Structure formats: structure tokens, C-alpha cells
Structure 1
Amino acid sequence: MYIFQWLNNQLLKMEWLHNLVTVLVRNVFRLDVNSKVGGSIHFFIYDVIKIFILLSVLIFMISYIQSFFPPERTRKILGRFSGITANILSALLGTVTPFCSCSSIPLFIGFTNAGLPIGVSFSFLISSPLVDLASVILLASIFNWKIAIAYVVVGIVLAVIGGTIISKLKLEKYVEPFVFNNKVLEVEQEELTTKDRIDFAKDQVLDIVKKVWLYVLIGVGIGAAIHNWIPESIITALLGQGKWYSVLLATFVGVPMYADIFGTLPIAEALVLKGVGLGTALSFMMGVTALSLPSMIMLKKVVKPKLLAIFAGIVTLGIIIIGYSFNAFGYLFM
């Protein structure tokens, strides 16, 4: 148990990096890490380096595994199942695809175009930006394993329920016709060598880092500001655990924004440290990642307004329920 705790602290929480940055701030910047300026610089440098190290390592590992499951093979596997089993598998597939909501939409189109039920495709679309293996590790590094696992479970449940409801409502007529009309080419997947898979994983790391680096810097910057400059009394007055509307406010504030989970985690961390309920912080994070305005605009190109409204309504309601549940029972995970 002691060895596991040590590994968790050094590999995930990166205490060695925390101590190294402390020395840097004190000896190079000549600042007290307990001051507002020193604390902000420490928070920013430590979180940015930690997130990019974990992100690069995890995306490389996930992408290497993904190289064995190209979209056509994945479609064939999912096509063997139906009903809630297919929704569960699609949601689980979303957890191993490190995409933001906008990046997930082309795959959603591909799955639907290939003949999978739209409910199954929507389960993937919900889970892919919301829950992935990299975010689990990052959540564990910031909070703990209990919270990380609980977040994954509720994210998958939301994806399965959301996709199942859409399937039951028979909403295929609200998908734009071009999604179904394109021909799917059956192409034999070329057998990749180990070098090919490593090169693919490297390319994925570079591609994803290029897409998220700015959001990570912005997110960590906001987190540092919240953590060191905004008085706790102001934050708790707006989003404190005693405020019944805190989850609603956090969810609807998050929706117009656009970032991925890696950019919102530092903000959630800072909010919780300031006394905001765990469920409120997670609702903000989920609203940003699953229902960002740019992804809704992209999705509107492939589905009609009624289906878009139903999708957004299901996900929003699910996030709100999850938020209040975590606020009520969050003490069990701390």
C-alpha cells in the first residue's frame, strides 16, 4: 500500500515536480510561494508541465493501442451488437478516443453513415469528449482515484442513457440526408509494423498537443487566478455548496465556452480548493467539454434542430443531475 501511495504521489501528482518548481520560484524568481504572485507562478508552471507530461505519455499509449482498431474495424465490431449492448460498447469506445467534441463529430458522421443506429453514434459522441483515459489519470493526479473512477462511471452512464433514449425516440428522420447517402468503401486495413504504430502514436501526440496547448495555458491561467487572487468569500457567495443554483449556473456558464477537458481541469481544481462543491466544479467541466457552442454549431450541420435540441437537453439534464449528486455525496470520495 505504501509503495502504491508513493508511486501515485510521484508519478501522478508529481510531488518531485512540485518541489522542483518551489525551488525555482524561490531561488530564480525570488518570490515566496505563499504570496499571491509567487503562488500564481508556482501553480501555473507546475500545472502546465504536469499536464503536458501526463498528456503526452497517455496519448502516446492510447494511440498505440488505437492503431490496432481503425474506424472500419471498429464499425464492424460495433455492428455485431444491438440495443443497449451496442450503446455501452460505443460509450466505452468513446473513453479510449482522446478527442474534443468537435473532433468527435466526423467519427459520429462516419459511424452513422456506415449504418450504425444513431443512438449508438450519439453514445459515442457524448462519451468521447466527456470521458477518456487521459482525463481519468489527470483527475486522479489532481483529486484522487475515487473521484476519477466515479466521474468515468457517471460519464459512461450518461452516454449510454442518452444514446438509448435517442434510439427509442426513432429520430433518424432528423439526421441530414447526406449523412446516410455517402457510400462506405470497404478497404482492407494494411497491416502496420511496430514502427508504423509508434510513428502513428507520435503523430497523434503532436496533433492533439497542437490542438489543446492554448486551452491548457488559458485554463491553468484562470485556475491560478482563481486560486490566488479571487477571495474565497466571493466564490463561495456565487458557487458555494449551500447555493441551490450553483450547479445550474456552472453548467450554463460552461456551455458557451470551448475547451477540452485538459483545459478545464485546472479551473475545476481551483474552484474546489476555494470551497466550491465537487459536483458544481464537475458540472462546469462537463458543460464546457460536452456542450461547447462550436461543437453544437458543427453538429447542426448534420442533424436538424429538433434532434439537436433533444441531444442538448438530455446531456444538460444529465450533467445537472450528476452535479447535484456529487454535491450531495461528494464527501464519500474526498
Structure 2
Amino acid sequence: MTDATIPHGPRAALRSLWRDHRVWLASGLILLALAITDTAQALDSTQFAFAALLRTAPFLILSIGIAAWANATGADNLIAKAFTGAPLLMVGLGALAGGISPFCSCGVIPLIAALLAMGVPLSAVMAFWLASPIMDPSMFVLTAGVLDLEFAIAKTLSAIGLGVFGGLVVHVLARGGAFADPLREGVGNGGCGGSKLRAPQPVVWRFWADADRRAKFAKTAWTTTLFLAKWLFLAFILESLMLAWIPAETVTAALGGSGIVPIITATFVGVPAYLNGYAALPLVGGLIEQGMAPGAGLAFLVAGGVTSIPAAMAVWALAKPQVFALYIALSLSGAFTVGLLFQLWQAV
């Protein structure tokens, strides 16, 4: 039976089912295929995904709560207003906040969506978005312990520098009319969120006293939770498969040597990097002890942090393809640049 002979009703229902639940269906199909071909891996991947969700749950709950609270109270008007004014200052503040905040790339998704939906300039949001996955306070301490303090400082400065670089690039492009509506359809309220800046409404801090605002809080929290759960579950399943099928040592061993070539290699290997920042540190540290250039190690950690599966899928889920492409391009060029600069610093 061809597609043309399928009744309109069932065909439309199938399209609707795929459109509304394609991410959950993709996860289910992957696990089903694994269950048929490798039952043990199917169980491992499922356990890995749920364990990863539990690890990130505190950040996710906090982010979801903030997004729902801002929407219910109307405080998002104040947040949006705080990002108006001097765009270059907002880029710097966004990069600094991303470099020192404890939010991972997954936990910050609701805040990013809320800010973009409110009409906050993409330049400031991109600065925060690029810097956030690279460094946080606990990562700084661990990096200093596993590698050294100089490397930890370099990684922090790289996070902030990449954020500023990305924000400035977006600012220049936006002045030419690009990225006026960066969010995908159905995420937030798209560029229409700029109305919160043009016609601000009063803030009601005690939102729980109003039934409509309580309902708005619950609806925002629930829809955001479902949105996060489906994308993160798929991302963690894919991450588990890369961990199982591609040994970490195989990837990092390709980054040995000195000169500019290892930095270039590390930058591109970091694009599909499946290692989270914590797991990558000891492996990179071991290779540095065996002679790998520190600049290559830094480039790998920066590129891997920004373009890892959870981080990249977060951008893909929220933003339009052209924004995603720019995010990857900024990650690559920024990771190579900071790796090269760190290598030059080491040579001085």
C-alpha cells in the first residue's frame, strides 16, 4: 500500500503522532533496537540515562522553578528589562555569569528559553550559553586538583573569552538584521516575547494568591519539565552508546604530539566528544604527562564541553538551525583560538 492510498485520517494521525512525540519515539526505537540486538546494552543505556537525569535533577528543578516563577509573577518583565540598554555590557556580563555559574548546559535550558522568548538579545544569551558548559565552581576545583591551578584559570578565562567572542559576533550579525527570531516554533513564544519589553505588565510577587497565576506557574513548570525530559533522555542514551562503543582512550590518544596539528585535531575531535568534563580531566591529564601539548588538551576540553551531545542537543532543541550552526562554528573557532593562545603562553 502506497502513501497515497492511506486514508487521510490515519495518515494525518500518524504525522501528528510523529510531530508531537518524535523525540520520545526516537528514544523508544533506539532502546527497542538495542533490546533485540544487545539486551545488556539496552539495560545499561536505560540505567545510564535515568542516572544522568537524577544527577542533573537539582539544577533542572531550580531552573524550571525559576522559569515558572518568572512567568507566573510577571518578573520576566524585570529580567528582560535588565538585559536592555548597553548590549556590549550585557555580552560581558552574560559571559562572566556563564563562566562562574553552577548550571550545566542542560540545567540552563529553561532560563535560555525564557530569556529568548522575552526578547532578550541573542548576543547576551549566546555569551552565557557558550560559557556555561565549560566551567563552574566545582569544575574549577577539580581541574586545579587533577591538572593544575594554571590550567584551571586558563579554562575559566577560556569560558569567559569564548562567551564574549560569541556574543560580539552575534551582536555584529544581529545589527545587520540576522537572528531576529531565534527560537524554534512552539518554544516559548518566539520573538513575540519582545512585547514584554514594549508593554510591560505589573509584577505580582505573591502569585500564589491568584488562581490564574497559580495555573500559569503549574502549566509552565509542567511543559518545561516534559520538554527537558524528552530531549535529555535521548541525549543521555546517545551518550551512553558512545561511551560503550568508542573507548575514551582511543579518542584522546589521537591528540598526542606537539605543534599546531594536535590543537586542530583536538578541536575537531571535541565536536562529538562524549566525555563529560569530569571524566575527561584525568584522561587529558594523563596524556599531558605523556607529552600531549597542553594547548591541545585545553582545546579538546573547551570544544568537547560546548559541543558534547547534551549541550549541542539543548541548542538544537531550542534554536533554529541557523543559530545552531553558528553555535557550532563559534565553538570550533573559539576552542582552537584558546588552545593556540594557551600553547603560546606555555612557550613563553
Q: Shorter-chain TM-score category?
A: 0.5 to 0.7
Distance 2:190 2:284 in 1: 36
1:83 to 72, 80, 87: 87
C-alpha separation in 2, matches of 1:100 and 1:259: 14
SS of equivalent residue, structure 2 residue 155: helix
Q: How does the TM-score come out when normalised to structure 1?
A: 0.59
Could you report, residue by residue, the CA deviation over 1:154-204 in whole angstroms, capped at 9, with x for unpaired residues? Answer: 2201101211110121133351353334687945289xxxxxxxxxxxxxx
Match of 1:247 among 255, 263, 277: 263
Amino acid at match of 2:272: P
Q: Distance in 2 between matches of 1:90 and 1:78?
A: 11
Residue type of the alignment partner of 1:329 = W
Q: Which amino acid aligns with 2:205?
A: E
Matched with 1:321 is 337
Compute the displacement of 1:255 (Å): 1.5
Verify the 8 A CA contact 1:174 1:306 in the aligned structure 2: no
Aligned to 2:156: 152
> Residues 97 and 260 from structure 1, CA distance in 2 versus in 1: closer, same or farther, beyond 3 angstroms?
farther
**Equivalent residue for 2:191, pick from 175, 180, 188:** 180
Give yes or no for contact 1:129–1:260 (8 Å, CA) kept in 2: no
Task: Output the amino acid matched with 1:296.
Answer: A
Residues 89-112 of structure 1 show CA distances to partners (whole Å, capped at 9, x for unaligned) of 111211333233233332211111
Q: How high is the sequence identity, in percent, across the aligned residues?
A: 25
Q: Distance in 1 between matches of 2:276 and 2:141?
A: 15
What CA distance in whole angstroms lies between the structure 1 residues aligned with 2:338 and 2:206?
40
Query: Unpaired segments of 5 or more residues in structure 2?
Result: 1-54, 208-232
Q: 1:189 to 1:85 in 2, by over 3 A?
A: farther
Name the aligned partner's letter for residue 334 of structure 2. Answer: G
Cα distance in 2 for partners of 1:124, 1:136 equals 17
Instruction: Tell me how far 1:135 sits from its aligned partner.
Output: 1.5
Query: What is the CA–CA distance in structure 2 between the aligned matches of 1:112 and 1:164, rounded to whole Å?
Result: 17
User: C-alpha offsets along residues 111-154 of structure 1, whole Å, 9 cap, x if unaligned?
Assistant: 11223211000011011111212211111112222222222122
Q: Which runs of 5+ in 1 are unaligned?
A: 1-54, 191-210
Match of 1:300 in 2: 316
Residues of 1 paired with 2:118 and 2:144: CA distance?
Answer: 36
Aligned to 1:102: 106
5 Å-filtered alignment, 1:1-334, equals 75=79, 78-79=82-83, 81-170=85-174, 171-175=178-182, 176=184, 178-181=189-192, 186-188=203-205, 235=253, 238-331=254-347
Q: By how many angstroms is 1:243 displaced?
A: 4.7
Q: Which amino acid aligns with 1:306?
A: Q
C-alpha offsets along residues 16-40 of structure 1, whole Å, 9 cap, x if unaligned?
xxxxxxxxxxxxxxxxxxxxxxxxx
Question: Number of matched residues?
Answer: 240
Say if 1:106 and 1:287 are closer, same or farther in 2 by CA, change over 3 A: same
> Deviations for 1:202-244, whole angstroms, at most 9, x for unmatched residues?
xxxxxxxxx9x9999x99xx99x85xxx9xxx94xx4334353
- Residue 203 of structure 1 is matched in structure 2 by none
Taking structure 1 as reference, are residues 271 and 189 closer, same or farther at Cα in structure 2, changes over 3 Å only? farther
Give me the CA root mean square deviation.
Answer: 4.0
TM-score (norm 2): 0.57
Q: Which amino acid aligns with 1:107?
A: L
